[in-house]
Amino acid sequence: MSKKAELHYNGKVYEVPVVIGTENENAIDISKLRGKSGLITLDRGFKNTGSCESAITFLDGEEGVLRYRGYSIEELAEKSTFLEVAFLLIYSELPTREELDAFTKDISEHSLVHEDVRSILDGFPSKAHPMGVLSSLVSSLTAFYPKSLDPNRSVEQINGTVIRAIAKLPTLAAWSYKNRVRQPIVYPKNNLSYSANFMQMMFALPTTDYVVSPVITKAIDKLLILHADHEQNCSTSTVRVVGSSHASLYASVSAGIAALWGPLHGGANQAVIEMLEAIRIDGGDVDKYVAKAKDKDDAFRLMGFGHRVYKSFDPRATIIKKAADDVLKELNINDPVLEIAKRLEEVALDDDYFKSRNLYPNVDFYSGIIYRALGIPTDMFTVMFALGRLPGWIAQWKEMRENHEPIGRPRQVYTGSKERKYVPIESR
Ligand code: ACO
């Protein structure tokens, strides 16, 4: 039986339908409310607004649950590979062995990018942040694949665009780093796994062979899985909204990369390491920084703490914290910032300010420590996040198109001047 909610306003009662999800999430559907009552809803930062119905990722922020297509993040991080998870997100089901082999082959055979991309890359100064370079290079793919501009093409053609995006992002990401350090670019190698191929493009040099350690590729794969999707976050919503105007997949993903870049979102992983380093250089006084984070007159926030939807714990952070310990042990690395991070977490979790606001470490709190141990430079951390998030962006873009969603166009409450007469410049 369909449920309804009632809204009482100005002496009238308006009935609004209630939509119920498979995990019993209830939502009031207000899409026709304005037509009936003249009312819109106001929800700054979309804190309590569902923008779509989605069958991709389930998240329960109160219980710390995260599932991709019904499978728990804990199991996927433990047992699957990144490309398997990418397949799951994009095509809804875990692949059979044959499907995964074909998918992997397809991706490795499309990893090369057009040689002319190199001249675009050469145009960037070495100081350019790799996220800016990556966003631009992804957008430039529309120039090399002009047919991808039409999002209404056949399923097979769209699939070609999808495969190219997954195949080429590691190449573009590694090249954005090579531009930064002014080293010759390295081409992809089809015989390597997705993560190993990325690492060799990052670190191989014409002068030396680069052998990728299995400890490193396994850790990268796990990190990519943990970042692969996270329902309607800032960058994913951006991808869906940009795509809702029928902009191409590459244009939408390029916009998603820009949204991810900010320090309140994916850019937090870079900001966390910079914060931990600053604390270390300042003598390691964790209490001082906790006090700063609590001080309303100080703009400082504990980066990697807090989350819009997780109000008990971020399950990804739990997995990453353990992985950080394991990876550092396996690589025999003693990083003093790991100790600072753990002390900071301990102090904050015992503090009323953080407890009362449900502020816990998020996915970015420990990920930077692993990236550092794997040799990834700090300003590439958010690029790693983008690599992981790509299948999620693609799945969400595809779902939005397949569901024929309307263009994303919120309303507003106008608070500016009432109509007034134009005043000629001489009279102002
Ligand atoms: N340090 C100190 N105080 C914080 C922090 C923090 N990291 N995060 C939130 N608060 C406080 C706020 O000051 C506010 O306090 P108040 O109620 O007294 O005004 C309260 O907690 C609620 O915070 P909001 O900013 O309103 O929460 P919102 O849901 O809008 O923001 C966000 C969530 C952006 C993640 C925030 O917690 C934050 O800035 N964290 C640090 C940046 C970060 O780690 N971002 C990565 C998020 S995960 C991801 O995107 C991959």
Q: If you average pLDDT over residues 72-87, what whole number do you get?
A: 97
Cα gap 195→292, rounded to integer Å? 39
Whether the predicted pLDDT of 2 surpasses 90: no
Q: Which atom of ligand 1 is nearest to the CA of 47?
A: 29
Residue with CA closest to ligand 1 atom 29: 308
Whether ligand 1 lies within 6 angstroms of the CB of 304 is answered as yes
The CA-atom distances, in angstroms, between 18 and each of 1, 5, 13, 50 are: 11, 6, 15, 12
pLDDT over 90 for what percent of the chain?
88
Ranges of each domain in the chain: 4-50, 74-225+250-262
Whether ligand 1 lies within 6 angstroms of the CB of 227 is answered as no
Q: What is the pLDDT of residue 1?
A: 65
Q: Which atom of ligand 1 is nearest to the CA of 385?
A: 51
Q: What is the pLDDT of residue 313?
A: 87
Q: If you average pLDDT over residues 154-161, what whole number do you get?
A: 94
Q: If you average pLDDT over residues 130-150, what whole number do you get?
A: 96
Q: If you average pLDDT over residues 381-386, what whole number do you get?
A: 97
Q: What is the pLDDT of residue 247?
A: 97
Cα gap 416→427, rounded to integer Å? 22
Q: If you average pLDDT over residues 155-183, what whole number do you get?
A: 96
Whether the predicted pLDDT of 49 surpasses 70: yes
Whether the predicted pLDDT of 312 surpasses 90: no
Cα gap 270→286, rounded to integer Å? 19
| Contact predicate 59/65, CB 8 Å | yes
Q: If you average pLDDT over residues 155-167, what whole number do you get?
A: 96
One DSSP character per residue, 319-381 reads HHHHHHHHHHHHTT---HHHHHHHHHHHHHHTSHHHHHTT--B-HHHHHHHHHHHTT--GGGH
Cα gap 164→168, rounded to integer Å? 6
Q: What is the pLDDT of residue 124?
A: 96
Cα gap 227→222, rounded to integer Å? 9
324 pLDDT tier (thresholds 50, 70, 90):
confident
Q: Which residue has the higher pLDDT, 219 or 1?
A: 219
pLDDT over 70 for what percent of the chain?
100
Q: What is the pLDDT of residue 60?
A: 95
Fold for 74-225+250-262, please state it: Citrate Synthase; domain 1 (1.10.580)
Whether ligand 1 lies within 6 angstroms of the CB of 363 is answered as yes
CATH hierarchy code of domain 4-50:
2.20.28
Cα gap 116→113, rounded to integer Å? 8
Q: What is the pLDDT of residue 210?
A: 85
Amino acid at 310: Y
Q: Note the pLDDT tens digit of each residue in 235-294.
A: 999 999 999 999 999 999 999 999 999 999 999 999 999 999 999 999 999 999 999 999
Whether the predicted pLDDT of 92 surpasses 80: yes
311 pLDDT tier (thresholds 50, 70, 90):
confident
Average pLDDT, the chain: 95
Q: Which atom of ligand 1 is nearest to the CA of 304?
A: 44
Q: What is the pTM of this model?
A: 0.95
Q: What is the pLDDT of residue 87?
A: 98
Expressed in angstroms, the distance from the first to the final Cα of the chain is 63
